[in-house]
Structure 1
Amino acid sequence: MTHPGDIPVESRGTITRSSYAVVSTVDEKAGADMFLAFALLAGAVLTGWCAPPLLRRLNPAYRDPRAVLAAWLLAVLGVVLTATLGVVLLLTRGHGMFLIATAEECWSALSRGRLPSAGQLTGLAGAALAVVAAIRFGLIVLRDLRDRTDTSEQCLSALRDTAQCDGGSPMTFWVDDDEPMAFSLARRPTGIVVATTGLARTLSARQAAAALEHEYAHLRGRHHLLVLILDSLARALPVPLFRHAHVAARELVELAADDAAARAHGEEAIRSAIAALARHDLPYGALTLADDSVGLRLARLENTRPRVRPPIRALSSGLAALTAVILPVVAGAGILAVAVTTCQFAIA
Structure 2
Amino acid sequence: MITAVALAAYAALAGAVVPVLLARVRWAHRVPAAAVLAWQGLMATFVIAAALAVYHFVLTEHHVHDGLAGLLSACGLTDPLTGDAPPTLGHALKLAGPAVIVLMPVGWLVRCAWRDRRVRRRQLDTLALVGQPAPQYGATVVDHGIPAVYCLPGRRSRVVVTRGALEVLSDGQLRAVLEHERAHIVGRHHLLRLPTDAFCRAFRGLPLARHAKEQTELLLELIADDRALRFHPRETLATAMYEVAAGQVPQTALGAGGSSALIRLRRVLTPQPRPHRATWPGVVTAAVMAPLLPLLLACGL
- TM range, normalised to the smaller chain? 0.7 to 0.9
Mapped partners of 1:284, 1:264: distance in 2: 28
Shifted more, 234-243 versus 37-46: the winner is 37-46
Equivalent residue number for residue 46 of structure 2: 79
Equivalent residue number for residue 287 of structure 1: 254
Shifted more, 315-324 versus 51-60: the winner is 315-324
Query: Residues 48-197 of structure 1 correspond to what in structure 2 (within 5 A)?
Result: 48-60=15-27, 63-84=30-51, 93=64, 94=66, 95-96=68-69, 125=94, 127-166=95-134, 172-188=139-155, 191-197=157-163
What do the CA deviations read for 1:279-337 (whole angstroms, capped 9, x no partner)? 34432211111111111111111225xx3335x2x422432443354457679999xx9
Shifted more, 226-235 versus 133-142: the winner is 133-142
Mapped partners of 1:198, 1:139: distance in 2: 40
TM-score after normalising by structure 2: 0.79
Q: Percent identity?
A: 31
- 3-state SS in 1 of match to 2:278: helix
1:158 alignment partner AA: T
Cα contact 2:20–2:207 (8 A) shared by 1? no
Deviation at 1:233, TM superposition (A): 0.7
Mapped partners of 1:149, 1:254: distance in 2: 21
TM-score after normalising by structure 1: 0.69
Unaligned runs of 5+ in 1: 1-33, 341-348
1:315 to 275, 278, 282: 278
- RMSD (Å) for aligned C-alpha atoms: 3.8
1:229 alignment partner AA: P
Unaligned runs of 5+ in 2: none
What do the CA deviations read for 1:254-302 (whole angstroms, capped 9, x no partner)? 1111111111212111101110115344322111111111111111112
- The verdict on how the C-alpha distance between 1:291 and 1:103 changes in structure 2, with shifts beyond 3 A counting, is farther
- 3-state SS in 1 of match to 2:159: strand
Mapped partners of 1:165, 1:233: distance in 2: 37
Deviation at 1:100, TM superposition (A): 7.5
Cα contact 1:47–1:79 (8 A) shared by 2? yes
Mapped partners of 1:86, 1:50: distance in 2: 17
Cα contact 1:103–1:124 (8 A) shared by 2? no
Equivalent residue number for residue 164 of structure 2: 198
What do the CA deviations read for 1:37-65 (whole angstroms, capped 9, x no partner)? 55334322322221112212322576221
Higher helix share: 1
- The verdict on how the C-alpha distance between 1:61 and 1:135 changes in structure 2, with shifts beyond 3 A counting, is closer
Mapped partners of 2:152, 2:218: distance in 1: 17
- 3-state SS in 2 of match to 1:133: helix
Cα contact 2:30–2:274 (8 A) shared by 1? no
Deviation at 1:244, TM superposition (A): 1.1
1:198 alignment partner AA: G
Cα contact 1:180–1:202 (8 A) shared by 2? yes
Equivalent residue number for residue 219 of structure 1: 185
- The verdict on how the C-alpha distance between 1:326 and 1:131 changes in structure 2, with shifts beyond 3 A counting, is same
The aligned length equals: 288
Mapped partners of 2:175, 2:135: distance in 1: 16
Whose Rg is larger? 1
2:231 to 240, 264, 279: 264
